[in-house]
Amino acid sequence: MGAKRVLFWGRFDHGYSKNRVNAAAFRELGWEVDYFDVKWCCRFGDVEAWLRGLSRRPLPDLVFVPVCRQRDIAAACRWAHRRGIKVLFDPMISAWDKKVLEQKKWKAEEPRAKRLLAWEKKLMSMPDFITWDTSCHVDFAAEYLDVPREKMAPLFTGTDESVFKPVETSREPQAANGEPPLFKVLYHGAYLPLHGTEVIVEAARMTQDLPIQWDFLGWGAYKAETEAKAAGLKNVRFLDKVPYVKVPEVICAHDIVLGVFGTTAKAARVIGNKVYECMACARPTINEFCTGYPPSARDCPSIKFIPPGDPAALVKAVEEYRADWSNRDMYFREARKFFERELSMDVVKAQLKEILKKILG
């Protein structure tokens, strides 16, 4: 009997980190991974599949709809369920949550927000099983999207471990007066509201007279706003964009890496990509707490948790690391150990293996 086959369905970004991790996890569990890239209209993807002869390929054992592809769910389920094939959806975010609770573009009581919520509830009832990046999002979907808990489970984000790993970098020499080099702090990401980049800028403002460098790497809708808030701060730099495979070099050229500090409800439900990436690269981090973290995170010396939206707490956490930086090798070592034990591909594979047992029996 040949290997099982999974069909990734939809108009999605193959290169996005979580999609790459999910595909790699299937392969490492012995599955063949096939793709049906919807090119025309997501709503009628099943019609496109018929026109393009998808059924002439070997039928998959499972259809997988990747991150953020709510628009592909209905067509994927129609196509798969007609053929007795189960569908697994990995939304990562809720469209209603993003529009109403995170971005605050619509009020929950507005008719359009109510229509969006009803639409998303209907879509979430279609797949046979749904995975979320944290247990907090499982709780959210059960409460707001009416998804039964028995058809959901966490599937961690993970990261591409062939790219994100410790990299040797040269440190700046001591200053001529014998002072230590700058303590270098990095934010890298997409400038989402939940990241709370304004908190980082305010922390930088509070530490202008200290030997701390605050660097930003990335792009996104709120980058210009962040740059405007940081205007005139001598200890803030916005780094030039680098290729994806070079990001670990930037991470490892810094002492610590920052995570998520926003005050939105979603910020308290996520483990940011940057946390997986920096700890894979053996760098400690600071974040607001999310109950979706493995319980041992509380005891990891390379993770400091602070309240959301609190620049003073961020400064205090940075200063605690800096005051103990003679032990930097310990922090680097413990960050990597925590990643390997709690956040690595081995963990993602184990989660996916259990999920597949529940779906397929």
DSSP assignments along 141-170, one per residue: HHHHS---GGGEEE------TTTSS----P
Strands 152-154 and 62-65, how do they pair?
unpaired
**Residue appearing with tokens 């800028």:** 201
Strands 183-189 and 152-154, how do they pair?
unpaired
Q: In whole angstroms, what is the distance from residue 302 CA to residue 321 CA? A: 9
Per-residue confidence (pLDDT) for residue 175, from 0 to 100: 54
CA-closest candidate to residue 138, choices 157, 161, 163, 155: 155
pLDDT digits (tens, 9 = 90+) for 201-216: 999 999 999 999 999 9
Q: Residues in the chain with pLDDT < 70?
A: 1, 170-178, 180
Per-residue confidence (pLDDT) for residue 174, from 0 to 100: 53
Per-residue confidence (pLDDT) for residue 78, from 0 to 100: 97
Per-residue confidence (pLDDT) for residue 178, from 0 to 100: 63
Per-residue confidence (pLDDT) for residue 2, from 0 to 100: 73
Name the pTM for this structure: 0.91
The string of DSSP codes covering 263-324 is: -STGGGG---HHHHHHHHTT--EEEE--TTS-GGGGG-TTEEEE-TT-HHHHHHHHHHHHHT
